[in-house]
Amino acid sequence: MHTPRDKKLYQRERSRLKQQRYRRQYLEERSKLLCEVETLARLQSSYSKPIVPVPWKEIAQCLKAELNDSMENLKTLRLKCLTLCQVSYIMSTWVKKTIPMTNEGCTWTEVSLEIDPVSRRLGLDWFTKHLYYNTDRMVNICKFPSESPYIEAAVVDCGNNLINFVGLIQNLYDMPLRDTYAALHSTIWSDVDGKRSSYISQPLDNAALAPNILYRRLIRCPEESNFYVSREFHSDDRIVFVLGNIAQDATQPPNQRWRPRLFWYILEPFGENQTRLRVIRYNGPYVEKQQLITWQNDYDFGSIGNCSNLENPQFKEYQRNTQAKLYRILDDEFCDLISAPSSPQFTI
């Protein structure tokens, strides 16, 4: 058993050890703090100039200048927000008015342009991309043969006395893609920019459009104008020229009638050093007051009467006359396209 004296000695020893630990911790912490004081003293002495507090007046002036800049940025952002809201509203209205027209065998969209410059630019951009993204679809519908050269003019019966007119050209050139493009560029553009047309062609909006987009009004008669937009699209293995007409333009006299006229010029490599050109010329039925016009009342090819039987000799005559007219157009264009490569007018 431990005596009271032993317990007292044990407690003294325990207290002594505890005091030693506290003293050791104190000395270590003191040493660290002295080192930090020495480091801060050296850092303070390294500054050549004393730190002078900035007067409150100068701080207030800086804050005022920042406030003015912030208010100007706020005005700019609010104006930009208002503009975007207006464009969004105009474009949403435009989308609702853009009417998809279904004609068995082909479909198209009746597109109109508003007055607002931004919506016009966006509308033309969308329409030309819409044509471009449908390039493969149109090639598949037309079922080009493997042989070249090839010319075909078709009057396609779509039912309900509605007719599509499709003209096709295919030709091979013994040149690489870029050389063929350089040779044919001016010839194709002279076709799509209206310079060779017998109708009056008036450029529209072109100052606000990209360099490879052309928008123009071709006046056929007081009741009808073609609002043509054309554009080039380039990829590594294909160059496509597209051309299509807008139904209505709010900045121009309204069309009493219109006909969808869509064109594709497609250049793509064929073998190692050859390029294939495919041309698609599509004309749909006339549209007047949201009603499709039958072949009996076709404005371009003359009224036939009320005959509705496609086996009737009147329709057969209409078909022959129409095809003959289309073949004349295609033959003239084909002659221009095969003669162009002999004298390239520029290179890329």
Instruction: State how beta strands 106-110 and 112-113 pair.
Output: unpaired
Tell me, what's the pLDDT at 264?
A: 93
Tell me, what's the pLDDT at 311?
A: 58
Tell me, what's the pLDDT at 344?
A: 39
Q: Rounded to an integer, what distance in angstroms lies between the CA atom of residue 32 and that of residue 21?
A: 17
Per-domain residue ranges for the chain? 108-342
Tell me, what's the pLDDT at 345?
A: 37
Tell me, what's the pLDDT at 307?
A: 47
pLDDT tens sequence for the chain (348 residues): 567 777 778 888 888 888 888 888 888 898 888 888 888 888 777 765 666 787 888 888 888 888 888 888 888 888 888 888 877 777 777 676 665 655 544 566 678 888 888 888 888 888 899 899 989 988 888 888 877 788 888 887 777 778 888 888 898 888 898 998 998 888 888 877 776 777 777 888 776 677 788 888 888 888 888 888 999 999 988 999 999 988 888 888 888 888 888 999 999 998 888 899 999 988 888 888 777 777 777 756 554 444 445 556 777 787 788 888 888 888 787 887 777 665 333 332
Tell me, what's the pLDDT at 23?
A: 87
Instruction: State how beta strands 213-221 and 224-235 pair.
Output: antiparallel
Please give the helix or strand (H or E) that residue 107 lies within, else none.
strand 106-110
Q: Rounded to an integer, what distance in angstroms lies between the CA atom of residue 290 and that of residue 319?
A: 25
Tell me, what's the pLDDT at 118?
A: 82
Q: 295-301: long-range contacts (C-beta < 8 A, 24 or more apart)?
A: 295/161, 295/162, 295/163, 296/161, 298/163, 299/224, 299/257, 299/259, 300/259, 301/325
Using alpha carbons, select from 44, 112, 64 the residue that is nearest to residue 260.
112
Tell me, what's the pLDDT at 302?
A: 53
Q: Does domain 108-342 have CATH number 3.30.530?
A: yes
Sign of torsion over alpha carbons 42, 43, 44, 50: positive
Tell me, what's the pLDDT at 347?
A: 31
Query: How distant, in Å, are the alpha carbons of 25, 50, 150 from that of 36?
Result: 17, 21, 92
Tell me, what's the pLDDT at 258?
A: 85
Residues 272-292, buried b or exposed e (16+ Cβ, 10 A)? eeebbbbbbbbbbbbbbeeeb
